[in-house]
Chain A
Amino acid sequence: MTQERFAELVRKEQEVLRRFLLALCGGCREEAEDLAQETLIKAWLSSERYVERYKFSTWLCKIAYHCYVDHLRRMAPTPLLLDEGLPLPATEQTDAAFRYETLHKALSKLPMKERTTLCLFYLEEQSIREIAIATGSNPLAVKKQLSRGREHLRKLLQDER
C-alpha cells in the first residue's frame, strides 16, 4: 500500500477512530490521542499485510483494540475513573469534555470487553461479525457482551442522573 493510499484511507477513518478511543479511554484526551497515533503508526508499519477483503475500519479497530489492551496492561491495575481523577485544567476543550462527562463516567465503569463492544457497535458502527474479528472473539460472545453492556450502561446512566 502506498503512503498516499494509506493517508487517503486514514483521512476517512481517523475521526471515528479517535472518537472511539476517546470513549474507550473515558474521555481522557491525551491517552486517546496517544493510542490513536500508536494505532495509525502500527497500521502503516504493517500495511503490507492488510488484506483488502476486510474493511479498513475493521482492520484499524483490531489494531486499536490490541493497542488499548496493551495500554491497560502497562497501566496501574486500578482504572482511573473521572470522579476520582485529578482536577481537569481549564482549557477550551473542558466545556466539551463536561458535556459528555456522564457518558464517559458510565463507560469507564463498564468491564473492558463490554465497553469495547459497545463503542465498536455504536461509534464505529461495526457489525457483530466485524467486532468478533477485531476483538478476536466469536459472534455469540460478542452478542452476549453487547446485550450485557447495554443493560449495564443503561443502569449506570440512570444512576448518574
Chain B
Amino acid sequence: MKDDLNTLFDNYRPELGDADEYMERLQQKIKVMDGVKHYADAQRRLYRRCMLVAFVTGIVAGALAVVYLMLHPMVPTEKMSRMVLWTIELRPVLTALMVVLVSTAAAILLTRQPETESSFSRNTP
C-alpha cells in the first residue's frame, strides 16, 4: 500500500554519522555495563547465601532452644514474679513463635530480589 507518506518517509534519510564508530562506542558501553552486571550478580549471590545461612541458623538455633527447654524444665518458685511465671509457662509456645518469625523473615528476604537486579530488568519485554 503505497501513498504520499511512503514517499515522504522513504526520503527521510537524516545524517546519523559513521556506523562503525557508533558500534565501537556501543560495544565499549556494553563492556562497562557487563562489568556492572557481573558485580550485581555476584552481590545478589552473596546476599542469597547470607540469607540462606541466616535461615538455617535460625531453624537450628530454634530447634536446639526447644530441645534444651524440654530437657531442662524450670521449676517455678514463690520468689518469681507473675510475669516470669507466665513466661515459663508459655515458653514452648514463645520459642516456637520466635522460630516461625525468624524463619519467615529469612524466607521473605531470600525470595526478595535485590534492587540492582530489578532495576536492570525494568522496562524490558
Contact = CB atoms under 8 A, between A and B. Distances in A.
A15 B16 contact: yes
Contacts of B9: 122-123
B26 interface: yes
Contacts of A96: 14-15
Q: Is the interface of B mostly helix, strand, loop or mixed?
A: helix
A157 B16 CA distance: 24
Contact of B5 (A22, A41, A59, A154): A154
A27 to B, nearest CB: 8
Given A19-B12, A41-B29, A45-B120, A153 B5 contact: yes
A5 interface: no
A67 B123 CA distance: 7
A49 B29 contact: no
B8 A103 contact: yes
Interface string A1-29: 00100110011001100110011000100
A63 interface: yes
Interface of B: 3-6, 8-9, 12-16, 19, 22-23, 26-27, 29-30, 33-34, 37, 120-121, 123-125
Contacts of A46: 120-121, 124-125
Interface string A39-67: 01111111001000000000100110011
A46 B22 CA distance: 21
Given A42-B123, A46-B121, A63-B124, A22 B29 contact: no
Contacts of B6: 122
A150 interface: yes
Given A96-B15, A103-B8, 10 more contacts: A10-B23, A22-B14, A23-B12, A37-B29, A41-B26, A41-B33, A44-B30, A63-B123, A122-B6, A157-B8
Contacts of A150: 3, 5
Nearest to B37: A45
Given A43-B124, A45-B33, A67-B123, A10 B26 contact: yes
Nearest to A41: B33
Interface string A90-122: 000100110110010000000000000010001
8 closest A-B pairs by beta carbon, nearest first, are A122-B9, A46-B124, A66-B123, A96-B15, A62-B125, A42-B124, A44-B30, A18-B16
27 contacts: A3-B30, A7-B27, A10-B26, A11-B23, A14-B19, A14-B22, A18-B16, A19-B12, A22-B16, A27-B14, A37-B29, A40-B30, A41-B26, A41-B33, A42-B124, A43-B124, A44-B30, A45-B37, A49-B124, A59-B125, A93-B15, A103-B8, A103-B12, A118-B5, A123-B12, A150-B3, A157-B8
